[in-house]
């Protein structure tokens, strides 16, 4: 009997779901039937994420279907998943990580394979930059102080069309999504992790299961990538300890090299004026501990105060909504 695999219906989500289905067939001999579920985030495709509840809305209905038994497993971009999963759910497997960095994309016809400095020269001193991520805009304000960061929603093709139509001078996207959907040539410059720490889990496809479903757990364990798994564990541990969510300016990235791991964490004010930064190194077998240690260092360096101010700013904006 085929497993019912739940996913959103966007191009990237379907790519990810089909990737999991293919690997399940190849490695475990298990057929997966893809079930498309429309989420609240899809229905509110033009609203700013900070106004509608953040990226949690891209997984809520899928997780509800999983808990109800309507599907057997779910596939997500792991950066869209809540730091603490609903009771009864677990991450059963992850696929090998794609490029975790953020990318600058310039309009069609502009040069690619540039350095970040080259991109900055190309877009001028006060560019209009499209991004709906407070994490990205807060960090990039530190190198693009005169830039105007504008919200941009829609699927990848929609965002590229808006860019090419002249609505923005540049947009910031995840390198992973561009590469997976065959648009890697549009990457004008990949932004170094030192300049913009990625979102926790960026570039990792996660398979979510019911914690007590041993049949599915056993099946998906055969497709799990251990390096991506420990990286995701460390990065999610940073966010969990900080108590932050998807729309908080938190960056966390675990670089795995054999049995060694380096975890970089960052919390920054929305205007980029204050930042807490930490780097912790250790054994990848202690991924969760390293993530917690990174978060503790961030807290000792003022991350709790920064996050409190960010939450207060969000609350003030929400209070002004009609």
For the cut 70, the answer to whether the pLDDT of residue 164 exceeds it is yes
**What is the four-CA torsion angle of 90, 296, 252, 229, rounded to 10 degrees?**
-40
The residues annotated with a catalytic role in the active site are 80
Q: Residue 320 above 60 pLDDT? A: no
pTM, two decimal places: 0.90
Say what the pLDDT of residue 90 is. 97
Pick among 3.40.190.10, 3.30.950.10, 3.40.50.720, 2.60.40.1180: CATH of 1-95+204-224: 3.40.190.10
For every residue of 268-305, DSSP letters joined together read E-TTSS-EEEEEEEEEGGGHHHHHHHHHHHHHHTTHHH
Does 52 score more than 90 pLDDT? no
Residue 41 is predicted with a pLDDT of 65
DSSP count for the chain of H helices, then E strands: 12, 13
Q: Answer yes or no: CATH 3.40.50.2000 is held by domain 225-314.
A: no
| pLDDT tens sequence across 290-313 | 999 999 999 999 999 999 988 765
Whole-number CA gyration radius for the chain:
19
**Over residues 92-112, mean pLDDT:** 95
161 pLDDT more than 90: yes
Mean pLDDT value across the chain: 90
Which of the four pLDDT bands, split at 50, 70 and 90, describes residue 136? very high
The predicted pLDDT at position 313 comes to: 59
CA distances from 248 to 125, 225, 244, 314 (A): 27, 28, 6, 10
CATH architecture observed for domain 102-190: 3-Layer(aba) Sandwich (3.40)
Cα separation, 8 vs 12, whole angstroms: 9
Structure tokens at 243: 């108590």
């Amino acid at each position: 009997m085929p497993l019912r695999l739940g996913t959103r219906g966007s191009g990237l989500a379907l790519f990810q779901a089909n990737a999991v289905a293919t690997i399940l067939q190849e490695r475990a001999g298990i057929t997966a039937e893809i079930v498309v579920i429309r989420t609240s985030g899809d229905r509110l495709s033009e609203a700013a994420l900070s106004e509608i509840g953040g990226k949690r809305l891209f997984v809520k209905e899928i997780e509800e279907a999983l808990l109800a038994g309507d599907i057997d497993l779910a596939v997500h971009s792991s950066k869209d998943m809540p730091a603490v999963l609903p009771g009864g759910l677990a991450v059963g497997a992850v696929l090998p990580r794609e490029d975790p960095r953020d990318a600058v994309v310039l309009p069609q016809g502009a040069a690619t394979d540039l350095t970040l400095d080259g991109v900055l020269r190309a877009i001028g001193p006060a560019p209009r930059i499209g991004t709906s991520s407070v994490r990205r805009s807060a960090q990039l304000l530190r190198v693009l102080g005169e830039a105007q960061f504008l919200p941009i929603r829609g699927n990848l093709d929609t965002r590229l069309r808006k860019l090419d139509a002249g609505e923005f001078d540049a947009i910031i996207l995840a390198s992973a999504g561009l590469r997976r959907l065959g648009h890697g040539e549009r990457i004008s410059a990949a932004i170094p992790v030192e300049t913009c720490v990625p979102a926790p889990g960026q570039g990792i496809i996660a398979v979510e299961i019911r914690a007590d479903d041993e049949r599915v757990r056993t099946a998906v364990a055969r497709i799990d990538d251990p390096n991506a798994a420990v990286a995701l564990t460390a990065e999610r541990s940073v966010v969990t300890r900080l108590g932050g969510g998807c729309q908080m300016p938190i960056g966390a990235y675990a670089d795995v090299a054999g049995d060694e791991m380096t975890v970089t964490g960052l919390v920054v004010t929305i205007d980029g004026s204050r930042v807490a930064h930490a780097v912790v190194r250790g054994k990848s077998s202690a991924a969760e501990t390293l993530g917690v240690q990174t978060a503790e260092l961030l807290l000792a360096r003022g991350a709790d105060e920064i996050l409190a101010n960010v939450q207060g700013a969000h609350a003030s904006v929400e209070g002004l909504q009609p």
